[in-house]
């Protein structure tokens, strides 16, 4: 009698908590149905059709899987671009995560000039977002394209350094390997802005009491990092991983995304084919995300579970 | 012997410190380089642009670039629009995404995983992909045909803030899914004892959340607030789509080269490039000022919240 009542009371509390959780997330779901579901469905329909756009109205001619077949069989550019994007991402995710965690741990220490240094590390968040990237890229690349032969944001690359080295060594191919590696470093630093910010926030949410008690027990800073910082920050590692993957896929510099956009708004105006490419792309990102989060979340430490 | 030991230890410490100073100076230089480039180019006159001996500091600096850029951008009008979008959406994001993220972090129910997978999915979708259908949707806005039946027509939201605010109210704005994810990760990392104390003291679910969880999550709030503000400040795709006759800073910045060459019939790069960078400087200056003023507050707010656990 006693046990059944206790169980019922417990399940009552659980049910109440479930109800609160449903309230929060169903609110989101309502918004999703109102604003996103319909455009998303439309875009999916586009991918199965030939789209004709005329002043404010859109007409669809359903053609089945033709767009998808075209992407994998007839389009010579799509598959190489896709493979290119995928390899870049694997390298980026690893390097960005390590680099940003390192910088965040450093910036979380108390030292003179910390405020200034944090402000400097906030700059990439401002400069690499939206309009600024677009504007700076459009002219500087036109100016420098001839000199460096490279696309992208030359301000962030080793332009003058590279041309100098090449003239000094008489176009030695080994030099370009070296400078490419350096370019990679530049890009990693520029791509880590948001991740550093998130890591700093995560580090600050760790209770100082944990470190104090560890110190009393005689643990070194190195041990504290592995036993306290890393487990406590692991939820933020997951979100940074997800962000980095998504960021490099939706980045302005991503040539595949630009290709997709070009298909829709450029000279071809093939909105249906563009939508089909986008959906193939999504499907692949989803699989990658699910795999990496699935592997990582076994190692993640949440204080309550 | 012991003296020697401590000596080597201080050397080691000194070496480490030197190493980190050098490292951070190098990284700092890479990060600050574009900023120096923007501001030094912005004051250059055409003569400086053509002079090959002028690298950084203009020999004949001019402020007229800023006046021209100010005019092209329609600065005050654009600034007001941009501030309205960035502030309103950021406030909504903080209020709504944190609550939704809390719901995903703390409450167990069967369909939680499925709905959360949908949230993550909305982050992946770039705005360009659902752009066209969403544009048509806001041009003829209607909820299940209600407006058509009661008002006798649909609502045109073009040139209003509604396409930015309405989705944000439901946590569907630009990158809102990411913010929900960030809040969820933070709340999940917090000790459950915090809330239990609230429940024991007789607080309800909402009161416990507002009084206990929100103050403990200050780092998450400042980070999300910062990101949301900057991203809406610089966002261009949606703004260009919905604010066709109502300029914003980022829209005008993207089109600035076109404006300069069209309105003044000048295609001389030695004039166009500095004026463009003057425009860039005008757009990011408010962001930098807000960050520098807010920094002290952010750091303090963050450090005060270190009572977690």
| Domain edges within chain A | 76-297
Residues B35 and B167 both lie in one domain: no
- CB contact (8 A) between residue B167 and residue A36: yes
CATH number at residue B277: 1.10.3720.10
Exposed/middle/buried for residue A176 (C-beta within 10 Å: 0-12, 13-18, 19+): middle
Q: H helices of chain A, where?
A: 2-31, 38-47, 66-73, 78-108, 114-127, 130-148, 159-168, 173-191, 193-204, 208-216, 221-224, 230-250, 255-265, 271-297
Per CB-CB distance under 8 Å, the chain A contacts of B137 are 35, 38-39
State how far the Cα of A140 lies from the Cα of A144, in Å rounded to an integer: 6
Residues B134 and B249 both lie in one domain: yes
Distance spanning both ends of chain B, measured CA to CA: 44
Q: Are B238 and B127 in contact (CB under 8 A)?
A: yes
- B-chain residue closest to A277, CA distance: B129
Query: Of the candidates B172, B50, B247, B269, which has an alpha carbon nearest to the alpha carbon of residue A139?
Result: B269
State how far the Cα of A253 lies from the Cα of A246, in Å rounded to an integer: 13
pLDDT score, position A142: 43
Tally the domains of chain B. Answer: 2
Compute φ and ψ for B61, nearest 5 degrees: -65, 145
Whether residue B6 is contained in a domain is answered as no
B37, B62, B87 - which closes a domain: B62
Residues B53 and B122 both lie in one domain: no
State how far the Cα of A277 lies from the Cα of A85, in Å rounded to an integer: 14
Give the gyration radius of chain A's Cα atoms: 25
Q: How many helices (H) and strands (E) are present in chain B, helices listed first?
A: 17, 0
Which band of pLDDT confidence, cut at 50, 70 and 90, is reported for residue B246? confident
CATH architecture of the domain formed by A76-297: Orthogonal Bundle (1.10)
pLDDT score, position A161: 60
Per CB-CB distance under 8 Å, the chain A contacts of B234 are 126, 129-132
pLDDT score, position B265: 65
State how far the Cα of B258 lies from the Cα of A138, in Å rounded to an integer: 12
Residues B134 and B213 both lie in one domain: yes
Whether residue B229 is contained in a domain is answered as yes
- CB contact (8 A) between residue B190 and residue A198: no
Q: How far is CA B14 from CA B7, B10, B18, B166, in A?
A: 11, 6, 6, 56
ipTM over 0.90: no
- CB contact (8 A) between residue A27 and residue B236: no
Question: What are the structure tokens assigned to A228, written together?
Answer: 């306290």
Whether residue B261 is contained in a domain is answered as yes
SS3 A303: coil
B62, B79, B114 - which closes a domain: B62
Residues B95 and B236 both lie in one domain: yes
Mean pLDDT to the nearest integer, B286-303: 71
pLDDT at position B29 over 70: yes
pLDDT at position A2 over 50: no
- A-chain residue closest to B99, CA distance: A24
pLDDT at position A240 over 70: yes
Whether residue B89 is contained in a domain is answered as yes
Mean pLDDT to the nearest integer, A91-96: 86
pLDDT score, position B85: 93
- CB contact (8 A) between residue B34 and residue A210: no
pLDDT at position B303 over 90: no
Query: Of the candidates B177, B174, B86, which has an alpha carbon nearest to the alpha carbon of residue B127?
Result: B174
Which band of pLDDT confidence, cut at 50, 70 and 90, is reported for residue A149? very low
Q: Which of A106, A130, A289 sits opposite B20 (nearest CB)?
A: A106
Residues B73 and B53 both lie in one domain: no
Residues B52 and B173 both lie in one domain: no
Q: Are A223 and A71 in contact (CB under 8 A)?
A: no
* Total-model pTM: 0.84
Whether residue B11 is contained in a domain is answered as no
Site from A34, A132, A289 to mutate, B interface, most B CB atoms within 10 angstroms: A132
In Å, how far is A88's CA from the nearest CA of chain B?
A: 17
Residues B294 and B185 both lie in one domain: yes
Whether residue B254 is contained in a domain is answered as yes
DSSP string for residues in B84-124: HHHHHHHHHHHHHHHHHHHHHHH---TTHHHHHHHHHHHHH
Which band of pLDDT confidence, cut at 50, 70 and 90, is reported for residue A196? very high
B62, B88, B118 - which closes a domain: B62
- CB contact (8 A) between residue B129 and residue A278: yes
Per CB-CB distance under 8 Å, the chain B contacts of A55 are none
Whether residue B7 is contained in a domain is answered as no
pLDDT tens digits, B172-218: 888 899 999 999 988 888 888 878 888 888 878 888 888 888 888 88
Query: Of the candidates A195, A143, A239, which has an alpha carbon nearest to the alpha carbon of residue B188?
Result: A239
Mean pLDDT of chain A: 77
pLDDT tens digits, B114-147: 999 889 888 888 777 777 778 888 887 777 667 7
- CB contact (8 A) between residue B167 and residue A155: no
Q: How far is CA A241 from CA A124, A208, A247, A257, B62, in A?
A: 18, 26, 10, 20, 45
Half-sphere exposure of B172 (CA within 13 A, CB side): 27
Of all helices (H) and strands (E), which one includes residue B48? helix B46-50
pLDDT tens digits, A246-276: 887 777 667 777 777 777 766 667 778 888 8
State how far the Cα of B83 lies from the Cα of B161, in Å rounded to an integer: 11
pLDDT tens digits, B32-89: 888 888 888 888 888 777 777 777 787 888 888 888 889 888 899 999 999 999 999 9
Per CB-CB distance under 8 Å, the chain A contacts of B103 are 20-21, 23-25
Cβ-based neighbours of A245, under 8 Å, separated by 6 or more: A89, A93, A285, A288, A289, A292
Residues B224 and B82 both lie in one domain: yes
> In which domain, by residue range, is B138 found?
66-304
pLDDT at position A223 over 70: yes
Cβ-based neighbours of A255, under 8 Å, separated by 6 or more: A81, A84, A85
- B-chain residue closest to A143, CA distance: B269
Whether residue B73 is contained in a domain is answered as yes
CA B158 remoteness from chain centre: 23
Residues B123 and B31 both lie in one domain: no
Residues B205 and B282 both lie in one domain: yes
Per CB-CB distance under 8 Å, the chain A contacts of B280 are 132, 135-136
State how far the Cα of B217 lies from the Cα of B68, in Å rounded to an integer: 44
Q: Per this entry, what is the length of chain A?
A: 305
SS3 A50: strand
Residues B87 and B120 both lie in one domain: yes
Q: Which of A260-264, B96-100, B285-289 has the highest mean pLDDT?
A: B96-100
Compute φ and ψ for B155, nearest 5 degrees: -100, 135
Lowest mean pLDDT among A50-59, A239-248, B174-183, B235-244: A50-59
Running DSSP on this structure, what letter comes out for residue A65? T
pLDDT at position A37 over 80: yes
Percent of chain B with pLDDT over 90: 17
pLDDT score, position A155: 46
Q: Are B178 and B224 in contact (CB under 8 A)?
A: no
pLDDT score, position B247: 86
Q: What is the 3-state secondary structure (H, E, C) of A129-190?
A: CHHHHHHHHHHHHHHHHHHHCCCCCHHHCCHHHHHHHHHHCCCCHHHHHHHHHHHHHHHHHH
């Amino acid at each position: 009698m006693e046990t059944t009542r206790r169980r019922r009371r417990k399940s009552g509390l659980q049910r109440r908590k479930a109800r609160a959780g449903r309230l929060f997330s169903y609110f989101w779901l309502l918004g999703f149905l109102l604003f996103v579901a319909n455009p998303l469905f439309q875009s999916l329909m586009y991918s199965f059709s030939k789209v004709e756009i005329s002043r404010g109205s859109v007409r669809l001619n359903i053609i089945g899987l033709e767009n998808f077949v075209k992407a994998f069989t007839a389009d010579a550019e799509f598959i190489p671009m896709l493979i290119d994007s995928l390899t870049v991402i694997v390298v980026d995710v690893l390097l960005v995560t390590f680099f940003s965690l390192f910088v965040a741990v450093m910036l979380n220490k108390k030292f003179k000039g910390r405020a200034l240094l944090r402000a400097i590390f906030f700059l990439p968040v401002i400069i690499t977002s939206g309009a600024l990237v677009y504007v700076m890229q459009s002219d500087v690349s036109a100016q420098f394209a001839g000199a460096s032969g490279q696309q992208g944001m030359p301000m962030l690359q080793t332009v003058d350094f590279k041309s100098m080295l090449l003239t000094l060594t008489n176009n030695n191919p080994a030099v370009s390997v070296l400078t490419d590696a350096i370019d990679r470093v530049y890009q990693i630093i520029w791509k880590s802005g948001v991740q550093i910010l998130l890591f700093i926030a995560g580090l600050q949410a760790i209770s100082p009491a944990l470190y104090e008690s560890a110190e009393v027990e005689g643990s070194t800073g190195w041990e504290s990092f592995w036993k306290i910082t890393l487990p406590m920050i692991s939820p933020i590692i997951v979100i940074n991983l997800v962000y980095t993957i998504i960021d490099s896929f939706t980045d302005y510099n991503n040539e595949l995304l630009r290709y997709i956009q070009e298909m829709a708004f450029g000279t071809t105006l093939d909105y249906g084919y563009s939508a089909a490419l986008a959906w193939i792309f999504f499907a692949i990102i989803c699989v990658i995300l699910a795999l990496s989060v699935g592997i990582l979340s076994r190692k993640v430490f949440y204080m309550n579970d | 012997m012991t003296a020697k030991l401590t000596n080597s230890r201080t050397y080691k410490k000194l070496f480490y410190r030197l190493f980190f100073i050098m490292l951070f100076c190098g990284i700092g230089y890479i990060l600050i380089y574009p900023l120096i480039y923007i501001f030094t180019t912005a004051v250059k006159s055409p003569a400086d642009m053509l002079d090959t001996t002028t690298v950084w500091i203009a020999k004949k600096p001019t402020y007229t670039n800023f006046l021209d850029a100010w005019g092209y951008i329609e600065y005050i009008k654009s600034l007001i629009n941009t501030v309205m979008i960035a502030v309103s959406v950021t406030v909504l994001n903080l209020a709504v995404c944190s609550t939704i993220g809390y719901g995903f972090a703390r409450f167990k129910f069967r369909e939680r995983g499925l709905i959360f997978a949908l949230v993550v999915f909305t982050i992946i979708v770039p705005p360009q992909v659902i752009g066209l259908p969403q544009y048509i949707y806001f041009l003829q806005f209607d909820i299940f045909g209600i407006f058509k039946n009661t008002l006798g027509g649909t609502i045109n939201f073009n040139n209003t803030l509604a396409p930015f605010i309405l989705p944000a109210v439901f946590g569907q704005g630009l990158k809102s899914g990411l913010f929900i994810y960030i809040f969820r990760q933070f709340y999940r990392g917090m000790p459950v004892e915090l809330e239990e104390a609230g429940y024991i003291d007789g607080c309800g679910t909402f009161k416990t959340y507002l009084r206990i969880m929100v103050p403990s999550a200050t780092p998450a709030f400042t980070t999300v607030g910062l990101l949301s503000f900057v991203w809406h400040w610089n966002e261009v795709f949606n703004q260009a789509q919905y604010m066709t006759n109502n300029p914003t800073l980022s829209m005008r910045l993207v089109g600035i080269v076109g404006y300069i060459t069209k309105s003044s019939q000048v295609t001389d790069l030695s004039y166009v490039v500095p004026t463009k960078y003057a425009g860039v400087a005008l757009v990011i200056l408010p962001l930098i000022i807000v960050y520098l003023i807010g920094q002290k507050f952010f750091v303090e707010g963050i450090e005060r919240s270190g009572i977690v656990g």
